[in-house]
Structure 1
Amino acid sequence: MSLRANRVGEQMKKELSEIIGRKIKDPRIGFVTVTDVEVTGDLQQAKVYISVLGDEEQRQNTLKGLAKAKGFIRSEIGQRIRLRKTPEIFFEFDESVDYGNRIENLLTQINKEEHNTSGE
């Protein structure tokens, strides 16, 4: 990834967090965290990684709401970031957050089990 694509990604991450958090009023969209934005070298596409608080249904509803608001989000990005062409936006769940949470839960569980067996 080029340095410019990296910078555009960082800028988009900041702006997207603001736009999704404050500007979109779709009730389907839950508590969203933009974890990363990967922009292609030609600045044509941006893959936006998100994590959503809640169960699978809330995650899917959030994705639907964001897909519906994509045009609005893209035009907002276009106004905030000076680029010749605003990248096409694709939303994806950031699985690394879930993976980290799973590991943390497993470690907590192991810790409790060890504590219970040594305390007998």
Structure 2
Amino acid sequence: MERVNVLVRQEISQIMFADLNDPRLSGVVSVTRVDTAPDLRSAKVYISVLGDAEAKRRNMEALTSAGGFIHRVLKRNLSSLKHIPFLSFQLDESIEKGAEMIEMIDRIVLNLPPETDSDEGTDTAGD
């Protein structure tokens, strides 16, 4: 199944950049993953869009409306597959969330007090 997922992902990426002329499809848009059902009847296509909420909305709207066209091109290009899956486009924000987590970790690390090799600063008043 993984081989089919990779093949469908590559084909959809190619179609997006070579065949779609929708002005709503702009910016950095990529297919991050495809999960095809075992019967090949449906597939979730995860899309990453760099940009604000409006850019994400526009790009997802463009892909959803182009779903039938993409399906027809897949049918032509992947004639070796028994079935061409019905495509459902999902916004994948994992890359963005990962970048936010890295930024948070960096901020935490940068705000830590410097480590010292000696016991300077320890309270020895009770000695």
What's the % identity of the aligned pairs? 34
Partner of 2:13: 17
Pick aligned residue for 1:76 from 73, 76, 81:
73
Pick aligned residue for 1:44 from 41, 46, 53:
41
Higher helix share: 1
1:49-68 counterparts in 2 under 5 A? 49-68=46-65
In 1, the alpha carbon distance for the partners of 2:31 and 2:40 equals 19
Q: Which runs of 5+ in 1 are unaligned?
A: none
Deviation at 1:22, TM superposition (A): 2.1
Partner of 2:104: 106
The one-letter amino acid paired with 1:39 is T
Partner of 2:22: 26
- 1:44–1:87: 8 Å Cα contact kept in structure 2? yes
The one-letter amino acid paired with 1:23 is D
Q: Which runs of 5+ in 2 are unaligned?
A: 115-127
The one-letter amino acid paired with 2:108 is I
The one-letter amino acid paired with 1:113 is N
- Taking structure 2 as the reference length, the TM-score comes to 0.80
Q: What secondary structure sits across from 2:89 in the alignment?
A: strand
Deviation at 1:14, TM superposition (A): 0.8
- The count of residues paired between Structure 1 and Structure 2 equals 112
- Structure whose alpha-carbon radius of gyration is higher: 2
Deviation at 1:23, TM superposition (A): 1.4
- 1:9–1:38: 8 Å Cα contact kept in structure 2? yes
- Taking structure 1 as the reference length, the TM-score comes to 0.85
Pick aligned residue for 2:84 from 77, 83, 86:
86
Deviation at 1:32, TM superposition (A): 1.0
Partner of 2:121: none
Judged with a 3 Å threshold, the aligned counterparts in structure 2 of structure 1 residues 22 and 111 are, in CA distance, closer, same or farther, namely: farther
